[in-house]
Structure formats: structure tokens, C-alpha cells
Chains A and B, each alone.
Chain A
Amino acid sequence: MLANFQLLAAVPVLNVQLLLDGLMIGSIFALAAYGLALVWGVMNVKNLAQGEFVIVGGYIAFYMYRDLGINPLWALPVAFLVMFGFGWLMYLLIVRYVIGRDLFTSLLATFGAAIVIQQLLNLIFGPDVQTADSGLGTRLILGSVTVQEIRVLSFVIAGLLALMVVLFMKNSRMGQAIRATAQDPRAARVMGIDTDKVYAFTFSLNAAICGAAGVLISMIWVIQPFYGIAHSIRSFVIVVAAGLGNLPGVIVSALGLGVLEQYGGFGLGAEFQQAVVVGLLIVVLIIRQIMQARHRQVVQ
């Protein structure tokens, strides 16, 4: 274990490799986390099926790659649209009834949905670990650092997608309605905003963003029906660490999580990578608690 860290100190180029990989994967975590923060902030619903949305998006890409022979990059718009519809359906069937209820209800209800989605994926695609090949090559920089072109491309796509969503939220009529509803749903209704539709749209937009993130994950990493929970936990870690409604914070902590996870996986061994993610969740919650205790003392 220690030997791995000594290796890192001895061969500095390895650090570059881990940093680059971490940043590129972290950019995709940021997408899912942003979606979670959006739904959490606007509807006060905690979606534990977040990771499953990501995995479903990944399987759409995998299906197009394996069964239809299409380059999985084309799955991006498809997954975006399909998952938008899926999100709307899930809103109508489940989420509609948990808005305004206590937060534990939404946690459990979406966890139930997560189990259903996992199992359906397992029935359709089987439990094997899959990946979709985009057909792009790899390059060497700095002598020994390998950079897969698809990782760079997905980093750019994730950035563009995030930019588009942010611009949409800032400038479009719907984006303004979403922000108004988040601030005060009652006042928004008084001003003639159909909040029910806003909620449906927000949840669907979240699902669509996750779907697109999933397509990227399927190309640069691996997907498996039961990997969703890890993605959900990652989103929670990021959002709790960043705080609600803090977009720069989400981006920074997502990139940080990506890098930490790479270092943890390398330093402690691959079997600890999941443990690092969940361990970080507990660490973040403890830190938050200490900060709040300090805040309480200041208030007193």
C-alpha cells in the first residue's frame, strides 16, 4: 500500500496520468451531480435513482453499439431524448406524489425505483460488465502518459453540455420559470407559472443530463446493471460537499472527487475504489456536521 505511494513520489509522471484521468472522469460526475442538485433545489426531492439514470444512458449507447452497429457517440442525442421521456414518465408515476412529503419518502421511493431499474437492466442485458467502443485511438504525451482521445472528447462534451444547461437556465423562459419555482413555488403559481409542469420538466431535464453522462461513462469506463448506486453516492458526496445552488462548487468538488478516487484506487488497490467513494461520503457528512456545530455556537 505504502509502496504504491512511494512509487508516485518516485515517478512524477504517474501523477500526471492520475490527475488527467481523474479530471476527465470527474467532469462527468459533475453532470450527474448538477442534475441532483437541480432536482433537490427545485423540488426538494432527493433522487436515489440518479446513478440508475446514468447507467440506463450507458446501456442505450451500448445497445446502439452492439446491436445496431452505430458509433456510440451518436447515442448522445438519443439518450438525451429517451431519458427526457423516461424522466417525465417517472415523474407522472412516482415523483409527483412525493413532492411536499418528508424527504425520507422521496429517498425510499426513488430507491425502490432504482431497484426496479437495476433489475430490469439485469434481465435485459445480463450482469456482465460492458463498455461501448467509440473507435477513437490513444495518444502518448510526456513520454509515458497515455491519453485516450475519447476521454478528451468526453471532457469537452461534458463541458459543452454543462454550458448549454447553464445558459438554458439563465436565458430561456422555462429556465426562468424553474428558478422562480425554486425560490418560491407559491409566488410562482400566483404569477401564472404552471409549477406542476415545471417540476415535470426539471425532473426530466435531470434524467436527460444523466442519460448523456451515462453515454460518456459507457465509452470511457464500464457499465453494469448494479453500478448505479456508486454513481448515486458520488452525486450525493459532490452535492453535500458543494452545498445546494453552488454551481462552481459542484464542478470543483466533482473534479476533486474524480482525482481522489483515482489516487485512492491506485494507492490502496482497485478493490478499495468503491470504499473510497463511500468513505468520502461519511467524511463529508462529518465535516459538514462540525461546521454546523461551529455555526450554532456562533449564533448562540
Chain B
Amino acid sequence: MTRAQNKLLSYGAIGIVSIAAPFVFDSYISQLTMLWVMVLFAITWDAMGGQMGYNSLGNIFFFGAGMYISAVVQIGLHYDVAEYTAAYGAIKVDFSEQEYFTGLFLGTIVAAVGSVIMAVILSWIVFGLRGPYFAIGTLGIALAAGELVGAWEYVGAGSGISLPVFPGEPEPGEIFFYFAFFLAAVLTFFFFRWLYRTRFGLAINAIRDDEEKAEAMGIRTMRYKTITWSMSAFFLGICGSLFGNYNIFIEPLEVAFATVVFGIPMVVMSLLGGKGTLWGPVIGAILYHVIKEATWTYLLGWQWVALGLLIIISVVFFQQGIMGWAQEKWPELFGIEVEESPPEAEREAA
């Protein structure tokens, strides 16, 4: 079997398993849905942190922004948003199927575009910062957004917004959102897979390796950085919009701008799987999610202690990640050619 056939077969197998999973393991459907959210998180973070070398701690901002933009659009199509949030859920929404899906569709598009606009604006602020200052600055943006939205009466402040419920039975709703997130994650994966193979991918890798030299070679680094950030924001905005509807209720600190629950794990998943590789974030996300769900089930109360320890261990002792480790162990599998003869031997021969 050739390499291409092999690849096609494995993609097909993963696809079939993913499509069958919600029907076979129907009691685990919410965990499986979250798995795709996590995969999307890890891939979008890795585009920034792994491929471009800008370790953002605040990518969760776009997730929350998308969620709120979409919520405002969806509610705003039929109600006055300020009145709706001021009523604290006293106004019961009852949308027909058509109204619901139009709202969701429009909301998601506006959320994605809105996230991109915010990314472009924020890039003026953050991309002058380098290294750890960039990490702290982006963390600051995510935290500030949570605090500000939490004090903003128009969008319900700290008590959040409740969103329309999926029309009809709950069961098809779960299946619908499973496939929505599955589709979003797969689209994200293939988009970035394509992107890393283009000139653009090489350019952002050059920025990661040496930004000054890249700039000297004529790469417009600022433009590339802004575009990469916008692409992360685009997919995170879509994901946020879907997640708001999936969760029905949104709130600034624990759901939308949840730095500890989602923001930091994004980074950890990428590191765990191996940052700067295509499959690393996916593997890391799956592993992290499985560990998370296991600790939730068996270590209740201690789950966050266990996850904190996982962060420390993966960051301090296992930073090359699973893919990095595998590449070191079996370089030939990844098409990396190892020079057999060291330069000294050549010199002796000459």
C-alpha cells in the first residue's frame, strides 16, 4: 500500500469512527461533543503558539467574544437585548424551527466576522510585545474582557444571558451540536493543514524561528502575524457561537472568558501533543480530554488539583510533547532524514 492510500484509509477510518461514535456511545455524547471543542481549541492555539512562536494565553477571548456577539444577534433579531437581559430570564423565548436556525446561522457568521475584526484591532496592541510580555498581555486581555463583560448591564452583566433552546426534542439537539462541532473541528483541521503547506505556512514558521531575519528577508511580519491571529479568531468565534447555543446559558467568567477552564488548557493540550506539528494538538486534545473526564469521574473534588499537576508535569518535564518525542524516536516515519555520518568522519576520509 502506498503512503497516499495509507493516509486516505486512516482519514476515512477516523471519519467513520467519529460519525458513528454519538450513536454507539450515546450516553457519552456530551463528552464526545466537548472533545471536538477541545480539538478546535488546540489547533487554533497551535497556529499561533506552535507554528508562529507567539505563545498567547488569551486566545479564549475570541471564544467568549464570539459567544456574546452571537447571543446578542440571536436575541436582537426578535427582542430588545437590554430588556431581555434585564428580565433575568423572565422573558421566555419560544422560537420556531426556522427562526432558531436563521438566528444561529446569522449569529455564527456575525460572531466569526466580529472576532476577526477584534483580532485585527487587538493586533495593534499585542504584537509589539515579545515573548513573555506577549503572553502576559494576552492573558490580561482575556481577564479584562471577562471583568468588563461581567459589569456590562446590556449583556446581562455577571448573571449572563440565557439563549433559545433547540426546538423539538433534546435528543436530536445533542446530535445536531455534536455534528456541528465535529464539522467545525474538521474544517479547522483541514484549513490549517492546507495552510501549513503553503508559502504562508513557511512564512509564519520563519517568524517563529527568527523574526528579525524573516523581516530582513522581506516578509511583512506584522501582516502575517495579524492574519494568523485573525484566522485563529475566526474559528474560535464560530466555536464560541456554537458553544453558547449548546450550553444554552452563557456567563462571562465561567463559560465565555473561562481562562482556567478553557484558556490555559488550550496551551496545555498543544504542548502535551507536541506543538508545531499538525497532529500534535489533536492528539494532545484527545489525551487531555480523556484525562479530564477521568479525573472528573474518579477524583471528584480533586479534579482541578490533578489537572494543575498535569499542567506542571507536561510543561516542565515533557515539553516536546508526544509528537516531538515520536519524531525523536522514529525520525524516518516523519520523513526526517538523519545524517548517518558525522562531519568528523568525512574529514578523516578526505
Binding site for B on A (CB under 8 A): 46, 94, 97-98, 101-105, 107-109, 111-116, 118-120, 123, 229, 233, 236, 240, 269, 271-272, 274-275, 278-279, 281-282, 285-286, 288-289, 292-293
Contact = CB atoms under 8 A, between A and B. Distances in A.
Contacts of B308: 112-116, 119
A285 B140 contact: yes
Nearest to B310: A112
A236 B136 contact: yes
B58 to A, nearest CB: 10
Contact of B147 (A109, A274, A293): A274
B137 to A, nearest CB: 5
A109 B307 contact: no
Given A112-B311, A113-B312, A285-B140, A275 B147 contact: yes
B132 A104 contact: yes
Contacts of A120: 305
Given A103-B131, A111-B264, A279-B144, A123 B316 contact: no
Contact of B144 (A97, A111, A275): A275
B136 A281 contact: yes
B140 A111 contact: no
Contacts of B268: 108
Contact of B151 (A98, A116, A272, A292): A272
A45 to B, nearest CB: 10
A272 B158 CA distance: 12
B312 A109 contact: yes
A95 B71 CA distance: 43
14 contacts: A108-B271, A108-B311, A109-B315, A113-B308, A115-B264, A115-B304, A115-B305, A115-B308, A120-B305, A271-B157, A275-B147, A282-B141, A285-B136, A289-B125
A98 B136 contact: no
Given A271-B150, A275-B148, A285-B136, A115 B317 contact: no
Interface string B42-63: 0000000000000101000000
A226 B61 CA distance: 20
Contact of A269 (B55, B132, B144, B151): B151
B342 interface: no
A62 B286 CA distance: 41
A116 B140 contact: no
Contact of B312 (A94, A271, A279): A94
A46 B158 contact: no
B135 interface: yes
B143 A116 contact: no
B48 to A, nearest CB: 12
A46 B132 contact: yes
Contacts of A114: 308
B131 A278 contact: no
Contacts of A236: 136
Given A108-B267, A108-B311, A292 B316 contact: no
A289 B267 contact: no
B318 to A, nearest CB: 11
A104 B132 CA distance: 6
Interface string B285-317: 000000000000000011011011111100111
B260 interface: yes
Given A116-B308, A119-B305, A281-B136, 16 more contacts: A94-B316, A98-B316, A108-B311, A112-B312, A115-B304, A123-B305, A229-B143, A233-B143, A271-B150, A271-B151, A271-B158, A272-B147, A275-B144, A275-B148, A285-B140, A292-B128
Contacts of B302: 119, 123
A288 B132 CA distance: 14
- Residue from the set B267, B302, B309, B316 with the largest chain A CB neighbour count within 10 Å: B316
Interface centre among B129, B144, B271, B310 (most CB of A within 10 A): B144
A282 B305 contact: no
Nearest to A276: B147
Nearest to A123: B301
Nearest to B132: A103
B315 A105 contact: yes
B249 to A, nearest CB: 20
Nearest to B54: A104
Contacts of B136: 46, 107, 236, 240, 281, 285
B151 A278 contact: no
A109 B319 CA distance: 11
Contacts of A282: 125, 137, 140-141, 144
Nearest to B158: A271
Nearest to A111: B264
B28 interface: no
Contacts of B55: 104
A155 to B, nearest CB: 28
A214 B121 CA distance: 38
B191 interface: no
A94 B224 CA distance: 36
B133 interface: yes
A116 B131 CA distance: 25
Nearest to B319: A105
Nearest to A279: B144
A261 to B, nearest CB: 13
A41 to B, nearest CB: 14
A288 B129 CA distance: 9
A233 B140 contact: yes
Contacts of A101: 319
A288 B125 CA distance: 11
A60 to B, nearest CB: 19
